[in-house]
């Protein structure tokens, strides 16, 4: 059997409202998108690492970091299109140019703390599972989502899970939330389903502190704090 051809696809449009120019904003002295490109290169699993962007600055930064930007995105660069459609469009355009892959791994540039080991772990689990679709997730842990409520205009709560709200935290089952860190699909299945949430899709957990999605300025500050804290722990552990 011939080896599987894997492409890493990093969607990174130029427009962003909550954090202007988000994908090139610096985190710990490095553009946000460079974190993901570095992790993809370090894991050593990809035949090609491709950035899909509509923005010349993002394209140039991506090329300098070692990714390919074979074309600028012409569709699905607005605020409303699902990111998966941008990935699918890029895969179709690459195929039309003779660049085909068996597996596509979509890596959000807005998940900078996901590292090479996380990507490796996700891909290895995906290949063992035999599934066609796999989405990274994290245990919501201390958030205790079973206790979640909706609030009315006066602040009165309506529990989402009434039967669980009086349970102790240690008696609650884990609840997982998807993160954009590492989404994987068999290319043929993805092109047919037009979404990573295709038939029999699976979730694969990763450490919560590396699953941070950067959407708000506060997320950027939290990512910086987490990076520094866990780097300090790693350094101390080697002494």
Strand 103-106 versus strand 133-139 pairing type: unpaired
Which of 174, 199, 227 is a domain's end point?
A: 174
The alpha carbon of residue 177 and the mean position of all alpha carbons in its chain are separated, in whole angstroms, by: 12
Considering the domain architecture, whether residues 36 and 86 belong to the same structural domain is answered as: yes
Q: Are residues 195 and 167 in the same domain?
A: no
120 shares its domain with 151: no
194 and 80 belong to one structural domain: yes
Q: Is 117 exposed, middle or buried (0-12, 13-18, 19+ CB in 10 A)?
A: middle
14 and 131 housed in the same domain: yes
Stretch 96-122: mean pLDDT, rounded? 97
CATH of the domain at 186: 3.90.550.10
Task: Tell me what the mean pLDDT of segment 167-171 comes to.
Answer: 92
Domain boundary among 151, 174, 197: 174
Q: What is the distance between the alpha carbons of residues 53 and 72, in angstroms, rounded to a whole number?
A: 6
For residues 20 and 52, membership in a common domain is answered with yes
* 119 and 227 both lie in a single domain: yes
- Per-residue pLDDT band at 116 (split at 50, 70, 90): very high
Position 235 confidence tier, pLDDT thresholds 50, 70, 90: low
CB-based contacts of 6: which residues, under 8 Å, 6+ apart?
45, 46, 47, 101, 102, 103, 104, 105, 123
| Whether pLDDT at 1 is above 50 | no
Co-location of 189 and 211 in the same domain: yes
In terms of domains, do 201 and 156 share one?
no
* Token digits of residue 131: 């599934």
- The reply to whether 70 and 97 lie within a common domain is yes
Question: pLDDT tens for residues 19-46?
Answer: 999 999 999 999 999 999 999 999 999 9
Both tokens of 165, joined, read: 């709200």
Looking at residue 133, its pLDDT comes to 98
| Burial of residue 59, with CB atoms counted within 10 A of its CB: 0-12 exposed, 13-18 middle, 19 or more buried | buried
pLDDT in tens, 35-77: 999 999 999 999 999 999 999 999 999 999 999 999 999 888 7
| Residue 172 DSSP label | S
95 belongs to a structural domain: yes
User: Distance (Å, rounded) from C-alpha 203 to C-alpha 198?
Assistant: 12
Are residue 214 and residue 129 in the same domain, yes or no? yes
Do 189 and 117 fall within a single domain? yes
Q: How far apart are CA 126 and CA 142, in angstroms?
A: 27
Provide the terminal-to-terminal Cα distance of the chain, rounded to the nearest Å: 45
- Of 190, 210, 195, 41, give the one whose Cα is nearest residue 137: 210
Domain assignment of residue 158, yes or no: yes
Express each pLDDT in 178-192 by its tens digit.
999 999 999 999 999
> Who contacts 95 (Cβ-Cβ below 8 Å, separation ≥6)?
none
With a threshold of 0.85, does the pTM exceed it? Answer: yes
Query: Which pLDDT score is estimated for 238?
Result: 56
Domain count, the chain: 2
Does 1 reside within a domain? no
φ/ψ of residue 95, rounded to 5: -60, -40
Q: For residue 149, what are the domain limits?
A: 141-174
């Amino acid at each position: 059997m011939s080896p599987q051809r894997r492409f890493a696809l990093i969607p990174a449009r130029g427009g962003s409202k909550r954090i202007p120019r988000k994908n090139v904003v610096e985190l710990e002295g490095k553009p946000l998108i460079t974190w993901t490109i570095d992790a993809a290169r370090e894991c050593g699993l990809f035949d090609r690492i491709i950035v899909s962007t509509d923005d010349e600055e993002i394209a140039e930064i991506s090329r300098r970091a070692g990714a390919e930007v074979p074309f600028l995105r012409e569709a699905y660069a607005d605020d409303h299109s699902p990111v998966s459609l941008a990935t699918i469009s890029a895969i179709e355009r690459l195929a039309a140019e003779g660049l085909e892959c068996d597996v596509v791994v979509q890596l959000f540039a807005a998940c900078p703390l996901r590292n090479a080991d996380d990507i490796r772990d996700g891909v290895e689990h995906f290949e063992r599972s035999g599934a066609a679709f796999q989405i990274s997730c994290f245990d919501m842990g201390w958030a205790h989502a079973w206790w979640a409520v909706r609030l009315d205009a006066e602040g009165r709560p309506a529990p989402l899970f009434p039967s669980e709200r009086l349970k102790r935290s240690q008696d609650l089952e884990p609840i997982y939330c998807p993160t954009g860190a590492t989404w994987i699909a068999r290319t043929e299945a993805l092109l047919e389903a037009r979404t990573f949430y295709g038939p029999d899709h699976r979730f694969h957990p990763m450490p919560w502190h590396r699953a941070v999605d950067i959407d708000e300025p506060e997320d950027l500050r939290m990512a910086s704090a987490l990076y520094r804290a866990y780097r300090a722990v790693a350094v101390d552990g080697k002494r």
